[in-house]
Amino acid sequence: MKARDRLILIIVVAFGFAMRAPITVVPLIIDQLARGLHASVSNLGILTTIPLVMFLSFSVVAAKEMTRFGLRKALNFGLAALLAGACLRLWISWPTILLGTVLVGLGITHVNVLTPSVVSSYEPQRVASYTTSYSTAICLGTAIMSLLAGPLNEHFGWQSVLWSLMIVCAIPFVLWLFAPKSDYELRLSKRAEKSPSVKKGKLTDLLKSRYTWAFLIMFGSQSIINYTLIAWLPVLMKYHGFAQGQISVVLSCYSFAGLPVSLFLPRFLDGAKERTQAAISWTISLIALAGAILMFWQSQMPLAFWYYLSITAGALTAVFFIMALTLFPLKTTTPQKTAQLSGLTQSGGYFIAAFGPMLYGAAYKANPLGIGQTIAYVLMIALCLLSSLIVIKMPKI
């Protein structure tokens, strides 16, 4: 592997590490953060909702920025926002925490939308390999930072967790500064010099396709499961009387469950037939559905059940998240179209997901053991399955 390719691989891995940890680790120190802000824990639910609002509001904007200013400038802006937000959260006050969370969400939105374009722009022949590295880094980053949060909090104080997250955000920002221009960017520059009015595809064209909507529903369904579970599984387990240490390990299992999926699924999807891809969707959906149905009797369930629920939910969200990431470049012909499909899918998907933690919170307040929450989980699994079956049949655009 050439030095240039190694650098891009390291950058993609750094992107993955910074993708979820700045959001998902914060709930693990939510009690201490609430005390530091002199606020109730319930008021801090907005810190989970803000990133989702940024995702749904700016995913399409990130794709448009790439079309107008180029991949490099769009990512420069996103990574700078991510680092600035992480730094702001080191000053513990409501304004800095809120603004910092807004910027973190804005930065992650850009990285999330544009990384598939980075892969297709720099390594069009290695989409599966680089997507594997990226998705594995997302799982590892979330799991490692979740495991480190406890010891850091215990030995150095809860603020040290925020410092560690700032470092995770700083690394990709610095590395991207050294990234060379891709072959695709160089070809695009030469083409623009010869013909300044290069025709670009419109987002509205994608919106007319039922496959785009299937992508959106698949991504949104797995996102609503992911963000609702991350925000509320610790609270629900605490309600059932489990210790904080047990809850942390269960949540880490959720992240680690995605590791084998991220290691093997992208390569498998790249060469598999449609029937085989559909079999993957059916298998993981049925396995997760078993855990969802057992939620109707959650008050009688031992700790082993919560491990099963966490692992199967983690595998489910990983399969459909990675399926989307892998198929974005595989179903499109140019990095611009990749960014447009990725932007539209994630914007609409996160719009769906934004309602998850809020609606679950309202339902939990009314009845922590209500069957409505479980029914909603079953429906989300069904939507993931059905929409993925449509996405798999999508022709290349």
**180-201 pLDDT, tens digit each:** 776 655 555 455 445 444 445 5
For the ranges 55-69, 147-161, 203-217, 252-266, which has the lowest average pLDDT?
Answer: 203-217
Distance CA 110, CA 51 (A): 12
For 93-133, the pLDDT digits (tens) are: 888 988 999 999 999 989 988 888 888 788 777 777 888 88
Q: Calculate mean pLDDT across residues 207-232.
A: 83
Using left for φ > 0, alpha for ψ between -120 and 50, and beta otherwise, residue 93 falls in beta
Q: In the prediction, which pLDDT does 364 show?
A: 76
- Which residue is it, tokens 């909090």? 153
Q: In the prediction, which pLDDT does 28 show?
A: 76
Q: For residue 334, which of 163, 190, 188 has the smallest C-alpha distance?
A: 188
Distance CA 32, CA 27 (A): 10
Domains and CATH numbers, the chain: 3-177+200-392 (1.20.1250.20)
Stretch (H or E) spanning 59: helix 46-69
Let me know: does 324 contact 218? Beta carbons within 8 Å: yes
State pTM to two decimals. 0.73
307 versus 361: the higher-pLDDT residue is 307
For 303-316, the pLDDT digits (tens) are: 888 889 889 998 99
The string of DSSP codes covering 245-299 is: HHHHHHHHHHHHTHHHHHHHHHHHHHH--HHHHHHHHHHHHHHHHHHHHHGGGGG
Position 258 confidence tier, pLDDT thresholds 50, 70, 90: confident
Using left for φ > 0, alpha for ψ between -120 and 50, and beta otherwise, residue 301 falls in beta
Question: What phi, psi does 61 have (nearest 5°)?
Answer: -60, -40
Residue 263 is which amino acid? Answer: L
Own/partner pairs, 90-97, CB within 8 angstroms, 24+ separation: 90/159, 90/162, 90/163, 90/166, 92/33, 92/36, 92/37, 92/159, 93/37, 94/37, 94/39, 97/33, 97/37, 97/47
Mean pLDDT of the chain: 82
Stretch (H or E) spanning 149: helix 127-156
- Compute the C-alpha angle 356/88/226, nearest 5°: 20
